[in-house]
Chain A
Amino acid sequence: MNTNTQSEVRHVLTRRGILLGSGATVIALSGCQQMAEIGASTGILTQEESQMVSAGGKAVGAMNIDKDEKAKLAYGESIALSVAAQFPLDNSAELNKYAMLVALTLLEATDDPSVPIFVGVLASEKIVACASPAGHVFVSRGAMRKMKDESELAGVLGHEMSHVLANDGMSALKQYKLAEAGSQAASAALGGEMKELAQLVDQGSQTILKRGYDQPQEFRADASGAKLAGRAGYDQSGLRRFLERLAANTANDADQWNSTHPPKAQRIARLGALPALPRPGATVATRFIKAIA
């Protein structure tokens, strides 16, 4: 191998190393920026490739957005708007206020009643319940029609509020970023940060409406939601009873919760294993039936 060939091989290997290093590993923004600048200045990377590495670094740096409350709010608000674009809000002010009262009852039983929670009832006959990372909690009229009492609504809202309190939406966002870290060229090709925001919002909406969170997060939200309902004074078996009713009707195509959550049998079994509370909570059927009439 002559000197020129050796030099070319070294050049190719270094180039590959920079591209691989920037794409496949999770590194800090400043590191990617430096790598891009070094690559461009030494001629190892083309100008376009240098920009791609830089863009990748910015996107990877965005994994810290869970610590940025303004970013979290904008991301969460966008996801809430995306949900409402697919399932419009129910126009009954009384029903929306009733659901908000149940959520506030739960919120006051948490260790931080100042967490922003906004409840909206969706005017859909599908069985939908979801929450944005910024605290927008939705439940459909269709889901409420399948419930028998307020403790069941409290269990479902408690489940969704648990996702908000545990910051599950932002954890999922970090996973999207990790998954994309190997192909950051896309973000540059699509035209910058605003496009990337749009992609992330789309993924976030898909997670809460179609894919669901990871199973451990869903099981934890079930347990936390049921316990929260119990702490607030409700019968903590409300969520389990609701799931049992849905499970009995497996052919229900309108059950969005079925596609976004772990198998109901597993959820019901885990909820059934929760330790009973010293005093049974309230089911509150009369008020619930009146509210949804």
Chain B
Amino acid sequence: MENTVQQTSDAEADFASRRRWFALAVGAVLVGSNAARARQPVVVETQFVQRARADIRDGKSAAAAVVATLKQGDAVVVVAKDESGWLTVNVPGQAGKTGFIFAKALSAKKPGDGTGLREAFAGRTDTTEVTAAAAAKGLEPGTIAMAKDRNWNLAVLDTLIKNRNSVSARELEAFKAQLKA
């Protein structure tokens, strides 16, 4: 009888020990997988801006603050990517600072130069004065030349850009949340 009790106690101790090891093993696997999930695949590759303008933002949102604006053909170093489509990139000219840019604005291939009328749109026929004014305003020289020719108010474009940038990521999230309320 005493022997039977002893055997049961040993079996229980053995079971408890196995359960502890099992729990530890499961825990280790979970910790490992969470750590892997938290890490973004690290890449270091140079890509080129495909659009006339592309913003690097301080968050993964269309309304996140702009930390830098790149021009078509500018190179940017991608340091991480995930399935959201937003890439983590080094902010050019700001050592150690990173930001986010959407993958569709970039490509590994450098875009070509314009010719013919494309250069007229880009301002080849403009004077130095117009080109300098365009650079100062962040607008295309062709736009400035057209506005000058037609006496159009260039401040309109500035107003539209300011309106776009007046929305913060937090405001947009709060605005969207009311759709679900």
A contact residues vs B (CB 8 Å cutoff): 29, 58-59, 61-62, 64-65, 68-75, 77-78, 80-82, 84-85, 89, 93, 96-97, 100-101, 104-105, 107-108, 111-114, 116-120, 134, 136, 192-194, 196-198, 201, 232-234, 281-282, 284, 287
User: A97's contact among B50, B61, B161, B167, by CB below 8 Å, is which?
Assistant: B167
B180 interface residue per 8 A CB criterion: yes
Interchain residue pairs A-B with the least CB separation, the first 3: A62-B117, A114-B102, A193-B120
Contacts of B123 in A (CB 8 A): 74
Q: Cβ of A71 and Cβ of B176 under 8 Å apart? A: no
Q: Cβ of B176 and Cβ of A116 under 8 Å apart? A: no
Q: Cβ of A64 and Cβ of B166 under 8 Å apart? A: no
Q: From residue B126, how far is it (CB to closest CB) to chain A in Å?
A: 8
| Contact flags B92-131 to A (C-beta < 8 A → 1, else 0) | 0000000001101100000100111111111111000000
Q: Cβ of B146 and Cβ of A113 under 8 Å apart? A: no
In the complex, how many residues of chain B place their beta carbon closer than 8 angstroms to a beta carbon of chain A? 57
Contacts of B124 in A (CB 8 A): 193
Q: From residue B51, how far is it (CB to closest CB) to chain A in Å?
A: 5
B54 interface residue per 8 A CB criterion: yes
Q: Cβ of A100 and Cβ of B140 under 8 Å apart? A: no
A selection of 20 A-B contacts at a CB cut-off of 8 Å is A61-B115, A61-B116, A64-B118, A65-B117, A69-B72, A72-B121, A73-B52, A74-B143, A81-B143, A100-B166, A108-B62, A112-B102, A112-B104, A113-B62, A114-B62, A116-B53, A118-B163, A196-B117, A197-B121, A232-B179
Given contacts A72-B52, A73-B52, A75-B121, contact A113 B102 (CB under 8 A): yes
How far does the alpha carbon of A117 sit from the alpha carbon of B161 in the complex, in Å?
9
Q: Cβ of A101 and Cβ of B167 under 8 Å apart? A: yes
Q: Which of B12-20, B38-46, B150-158 has 4 or more CB atoms under 8 Å from chain A?
A: B150-158
Given contacts A65-B121, A114-B55, contact A104 B143 (CB under 8 A): no
Q: From residue B132, how far is it (CB to closest CB) to chain A in Å?
A: 16
Contacts of A96 in B (CB 8 A): 159, 163
* A68-B114, A73-B140 known, 10 other contacts, Cβ within 8 Å: A58-B117, A70-B52, A74-B121, A77-B143, A80-B156, A82-B150, A93-B163, A97-B166, A108-B172, A233-B180
